[in-house]
Amino acid sequence: MPDIMVWITLIVVILLVVGISPWLFRILKKVIKNYRKRGVYTFPDGRKYVGEWEYDLPNGLGLLTLPDGGKYTGEWKAGEMNGKGILTYPDMGQYVGEFKDGVPNGQGIRSHPGGETYVGRFNNSQFDGEGTFTHSNGRKYIGEWKDGKFIS
């Protein structure tokens, strides 16, 4: 499917040929201006986003800082954490890896403040697939995980 800018350009050319009204010109100008930009936005709940935007949604690379000190640095798509990123919570640890639809999905590493670490696959924020969980005492569980539970 062609990029949205190709469609906008085509519409503008057609309207220039057949005539364009001033209000339609202003709308098209606003759409083009909002297509891709960088900026800072503080949400009413105290979250702060710094990064790339597309159509008034975080899209591209960005940093989200949460009121409790948590933060996400990484890739965004249509307002959701999507792609590779780092999610850190002060008292819950850190996740480094792949995100889909705003949650850990795919390959990643979750480290807890107590020294526990999981390296492996995630599905909807849970250990799922091949992975290794290492306790702070060095004991390891290596194998298959399903819905956050070790199965073999």
What pTM value is reported for the model? 0.75
Helices and strands (H and E) in the chain: how many: 2, 11
Please report the pLDDT score of residue 8 as a whole number.
67
Average of pLDDT values for 42-65? 93
Per-residue pLDDT tens over the stretch 12-39? 666 665 565 666 666 666 666 656 688 8
Task: Decide the pairing of beta strands 93-100 and 80-89.
Answer: antiparallel
Alpha helices in the chain (DSSP H): 4-18, 22-34
Average of pLDDT values for 55-83? 95
Average of pLDDT values for 37-58? 92
Please report the pLDDT score of residue 11 as a whole number.
66
Instruction: Say what percent of the chain tops pLDDT 90.
Output: 68
Q: pLDDT band at 1, cuts 50/70/90?
A: very low
Map out the domains of the chain as residue ranges: 4-150
- The CATH fold assigned to 4-150 is lipopolysaccharide transport protein A fold (2.60.450)
